[in-house]
A and B are shown apart, each in its own frame.
Chain A
């Protein structure tokens, strides 16, 4: 097998860059771990350390308000050396996970699914980046680097999702479902990706052997696989913790009910701080329903591009999930370059990018004004999270428009490049 020199260079450079950052700024990982933009109550590395400390001393980490992450992470991290005295192995472990994620991305990109699938063929196929460029875009994204150094456990959820997609585009539907099961086990919300992912697997299967079963049967089969994999992981977790309901309510119950309102880049925390007590339950339901509603809409309308559905839903997660962080945004930004061919069709790119830059620069400043300087109040940071969400949703809506326009142009090749209108 010929070694791709460009790929080795990109991966090596990404690794060395991260290594240099922790060598020259040894306090940087702990600083980033403490940032609310990166660490949320459900993925914080410091909380993981606390859970690990209790776990290794035979105290149930779920019998407390600090640790809300999946139980299988505990034995995994207890294998790594103590991070206080020896931080490098843990950091290198996270670097490698990042490189694996980039490899999965390169696989997805090289499969060409984003431009050419069973039901869809983009008209601007030639405008496209190869796998190494997409991987480089992911590896050198400052959000990804910050996430990697801060060591949140959401990195593993990202891996699960990327591996699920990369296996799906390769036609390994079983592995895809197992990987999605792992991601859903870690943080619940990736389960919403099931239908588009199953559709992606189904399209691959039909392309390979035309006598594939009907869509419904295929989806039910794969639903069973997903369910089985999650059940297996939960079974392992029970073996580790010994108390099923305790860890279920401390992890998934925590995701669903959002009791911890620590600030983050999302929209939920301030809303539920200020919500009247009697309406809290109602709005929790509305917010979750709203998050799930996109899945149905996208799946129905963009059926021809399952990979794009997954990308768009990941964008929705980055905006509307209860505890979003910049690691979710970095996953969305990692998949967007697959749709380089849509960029000529996008209308508000400048505005969206400006809003994102504006909020990512002003966010930390306003947080400092509120928490440390005391010269601003909570509204400063809240306003920035609104701008951030607005920027992301403009980008999301614009990319969906471009994808639909692309589909339309495939149906009407004569109208390529014409002015269009939606009626």
Chain B
């Protein structure tokens, strides 16, 4: 085996183990990793990485680093940037641990955090606003709505991933937009940042219709400086797209996308269910796995190799597939298959001139790729009913039988959700299944809490927690829902407000890459006023006030007199005199009438 072959083998191995090689062999690389998951899903994980030297970055000589982004980062003095666009939910129960250990995904919507070089907090915030406004324009996302109420400064949840020679002036700011709908208008600018712009290479597989139809997808942009101990500093940009496609759904033809029920005779039923009969069926998943090809799942085939990713004339093994070696895989001509010794991974070297496709037929009776169990299960829900108050419940499950899990829970809550942190309670359910209430200080080893200020900033809560082996811990706290001014409600006020997902950073492995888990985002219904009647309310309240004020001051300023005096007083007034004249005239007329008679 030659030295380059050995090197590429090691490289591919490293990629399959989801770890990051510290430095790259060339200045630009791209990788596609495919893995069928249970429940006929397919994980497709794209990775694009470009390096440029710090010097050429400072001199604005951009080659692999996108100019549009680079200039924004220089203008906002941003030294490290992480931007995430995520939709859907990662089903950890069936799909196992997250790709990249969760370090390349964000909470639902848009999540952004950056280390900004500034002298003090105000300056850092001003630059942060510059950054969000510019990124908002670049990515066609509403990041300009990341204002002071959605910005936090996490203390323990994030650490810089790059090497910063001057770390003392750096400020970490973090913002989320849980309600942002990620869609094709965000994909187009994302693709434009790539050197091959989605024309060739693995990025040619991206199709907005398929990508945003996925059960879960996450796009990320990371920029970090890397300073090897012996060489010149580099600026690295890494873009990833991870998605879990439902194979059945993706294979639907675009011209006729209506799903049809499976005919009865093709249904595979679970006969062990008690209710299984002629007319009731619990469908079984096919053990053989679905048949699929790139063309069917992505709607297009891979268009050659991005020429910038080529090193010395031949392409890297840029497409890897994780299925058992026994499984048949057909690929188009010109590509070379390399099977890895782990028994499950094979990678393909692509021909630069020919399109590449890959197809897997249905094949019964075979081993499955083993999935690891996640280190921690986390689930966060809102409990209680009514629009006045509620409670937050976070459940952490530790599946390990032997080791406890230490982690940091990071919550950033909107200001109109007012948590009462003194009601924080912990319940622990041990292996015996009996829940027992413990003081929260027993599990919480550290707390950082910055309460919200109305209309100024949101709540920031960071808890360092530990869950013992084979137990689950439930944290609860009460909160109150604020009522807002009517102009502060969105047009669909009764839908509720989005609450950003909690970020969980698992601390167990020192020195290794951090593991992140994000809970789902929550929907918080707030009490709403009647939007149709501001005028009515102003009028009615003013009427009541005027009534009280009028009555009271009317009583205060008038004199009290007896009824007889009132009559006498009345006679002197103008009205009294006119009335008197009228009476006199009437009397005179009456007199005349009597005379005539």
Contacts and interface: CB of A to CB of B under 8 A. Distances in A.
A186 B534 CA distance: 33
Contacts of A377: 528-530
Contact of B418 (A66, A419, A421): A66
Interface of A: 34, 36, 46, 49-50, 52-54, 59, 63-66, 259-263, 267, 269-277, 290, 293-294, 297-298, 301, 319-320, 370-372, 377-379, 382, 386, 389-390, 393-394, 396-397, 400-401, 404-405, 408, 412, 415, 418-423
Q: How large is the interface on B (under 10, 10 to 19, 20 to 34, 35 or more residues)?
A: 35 or more
B449 A59 contact: yes
A378 B555 contact: no
6 tightest Cβ-Cβ pairs between the two chains A and B:
A64-B451, A393-B548, A53-B422, A422-B558, A421-B566, A274-B534
A63 B534 CA distance: 33
Contact of B483 (A273, A276, A394): A273
B541 A386 contact: yes
A415 B569 CA distance: 17
Given A270-B537, A298-B556, A420 B561 contact: yes
B193 to A, nearest CB: 39
A157 B501 CA distance: 42
A420 B545 contact: no
B556 A378 contact: no
B590 interface: no
Contacts of B487: 276-277
A276 B486 CA distance: 9
B502 to A, nearest CB: 20
A404 B454 contact: no
B545 A46 contact: no
Contacts of B386: 371-372
Contacts of A261: 482-485
B534 A276 contact: yes
B560 A397 contact: no
Nearest to A418: B562
A396 B552 contact: yes
Contacts of B533: 274, 379
B555 A404 contact: yes
Nearest to A273: B529
Nearest to A64: B451
Given A260-B454, A397-B555, A378 B548 contact: no
Interface in B259-295: none
B549 interface: yes
Contacts of B566: 421, 423
Given A263-B483, A390-B547, A408 B560 contact: yes
Contacts of B454: 65, 259-260
A393 B547 contact: yes
B454 to A, nearest CB: 4
A415 B556 CA distance: 20
Given A259-B454, A379-B533, A421-B566, A297 B544 contact: no
Nearest to B556: A301
Interface in B542-597: 544-545, 547-549, 551-563, 566, 569-570
A271 B562 contact: no
22 contacts: A50-B420, A53-B421, A65-B415, A65-B456, A259-B455, A270-B541, A272-B485, A274-B537, A275-B485, A277-B487, A320-B548, A378-B527, A382-B537, A386-B540, A397-B548, A397-B551, A400-B555, A404-B556, A420-B562, A421-B561, A421-B562, A423-B566
B388 interface: yes
A423 B453 CA distance: 53
Contacts of A267: 541, 544-545
Given A34-B389, A301-B556, A393-B551, A270 B529 contact: yes
